[in-house]
Amino acid sequence: MYRELPAPAPLRSVVRCRWLSVAEAGGGKRIVPDGCLDLIAGGGRVFVAGPDTTAWWSEQAPGTRLHGVRFRPGHAPRVLGVPADELRDQRVDLADLWGARGRRLGERVLDSPAALIDLVGVPEDPADQALDVVLARLDRGVPRVSAALTGLDLGARQFRRRFGAAVGYGPATYLRVARLRRAIELAGAVPDLATLAAEAGYADQAHLSRDCRELTGSTPSAYFRSVQDGAGRAGLRSPA
């Protein structure tokens, strides 16, 4: 079981959602890259799941309840005080990030995991508005990173360093992740993989297949079938 809940209104500038997951019998759960960092409590740990660049398998004992806070892309470092690229493809205990304070807060949250959201405060520093503009353009499906930077007074090399520290990887990787997320959202509304590739912004079906294998560890036919089965949707018609 997996369920998302809205973020409290005061935190919506930095938090995308809260979530609850209860592990089921029958193996792990595939977590695919989504450009986000999560703060998670459960299974005896309070930890940060860094931004992934490929699929991550979550292995939990059946019945384990995980409470999560999912940050909006680019905003977790303002709360956690750690550059996102230092957490890339890692799961790091809060005590290792915040020391004794993190250990103390983690123990408190494990006694009441639903209170995890209380660890998140409104950052004092202002948001990076240029970063938000670029992220929004990448999410909407610009064909290239250069198009997302159009009209902004940014030094490209310096901005890429800012982007990596905020998001966890460069804008080109984020563009691939955002394109895959669009494909996942569209998968139940198109008849085949060729149409899915075109609608999601891929150059062609081969492009979709290559990115899907690298980001999910699975072929598109197998991966999107699993997505649709989980959502109770009809299957795509394609042998690819």
In the chain, CATH 1.10.10.60 covers 129-229
- The DSSP call for residue 201 is T
Strand residues in the chain grouped as ranges (E): 2-5, 15-22, 29-31, 38-42, 45-49, 56-58, 65-71, 91-93
Sequence-distant (6+) residues with CB within 8 A of 70 are 15, 16, 17, 18, 19, 36, 37, 38
* Rounded Cα–Cα distance for residues 194 and 107 (Å): 49
- At 185 the pLDDT is 92
CATH superfamily, region 129-229: Homeodomain-like (1.10.10.60)
Sequence-distant (6+) residues with CB within 8 A of 144 are 175
For the chain of 240 residues, list the mean pLDDT of each consecutive stretch of 10: 93 95 84 95 95 91 93 96 96 96 94 91 88 96 91 84 96 96 91 94 96 95 81 43
- At 24 the pLDDT is 86
